[in-house]
Amino acid sequence: MQDLAIHSMKKYLLILFVLAAFTIKAQVSNVHISFGTTGVVYPVNVNEGDFISFSFWLVNRGNIPLSSPIEIIIAIEDSAVNSTYSISSLGSFSDIDSVFSPNDSIFIVVWDHISSARYSQGDNIVVIWPNFYSPYPSTSDEFIGNINMSTLSSISQKQSEEFNIFPNPIIETATLKTKQPISTFKMIDILGNVVRYQDNIQDNFIAIHKNELKSGIYFIELKIGDNTQIKKVIIK
């Protein structure tokens, strides 16, 4: 009788364990961020020095909200040698919505400067994915595409090296120096908005002050003679 009771208890505990495991599995909270049906829209054929945009929808296909910032990461691979050339952030989005709820979607536009420091001449494989933190199990999709870059002349490349910013990242103030006088100065955020502009400068020096600028990625665009040069800066 006692053996039967023990056997029944073991059987009962086993059933409880199986039911508990099934319930936990069924109730696992997760965040899954994927791209919308249109994928990522961007120009495939570009020239060195271009300033291009990547636009796309992100969808929360998980079952819980996401409240942390979403950072957009890009990896660039040289298809000729099949090796990773560069991995960097295209921007972090923390103020789009306070909460990214399940089945919600957000439209994002990020910008990148096409340079030989990060892209190789010819065909490049680009991999883009959202990176974020969640205390729950989380996954995300990645987008894989191609960018074909044509290089500029060696003269233009040499001129682009004559544009320096220090320090970068910028905490309070940075110094921008060139070897030739600057005609115009633009500072552009990752959404393509011009946040600073100066013209008729005709100087080789500009002081960049953080002031009211938010932390994040920006692009400095200079007009020097007949050439336009662009560099990425980070505001801490």
The burial of 12, by beta-carbon neighbours within 10 Å (0-12 exposed, 13-18 middle, 19 or more buried), is given as: exposed
Domain residue spans of the chain: 31-150, 154-235
Check if the beta carbon of residue 140 is closer than 8 Å to that of residue 155: no
Topology annotation, domain 31-150: Immunoglobulin-like (2.60.40)
Q: How far is CA 116 from CA 26, 120, 132, 148, 169, in A?
A: 49, 6, 29, 12, 21
pTM of the model: 0.59
Query: Mean pLDDT per 10-residue run, the chain (236 residues)?
Result: 49 48 53 90 87 89 88 84 75 68 88 86 92 85 92 51 78 86 86 84 86 84 80 83
CATH number of the domain located at residue range(s) 154-235 in this protein: 2.60.40.3080
- Please tell me if the domain spanning 31-150 has the same topology as the one spanning 154-235: yes
Phi, psi angles (nearest 5°) of residue 192: 90, 5
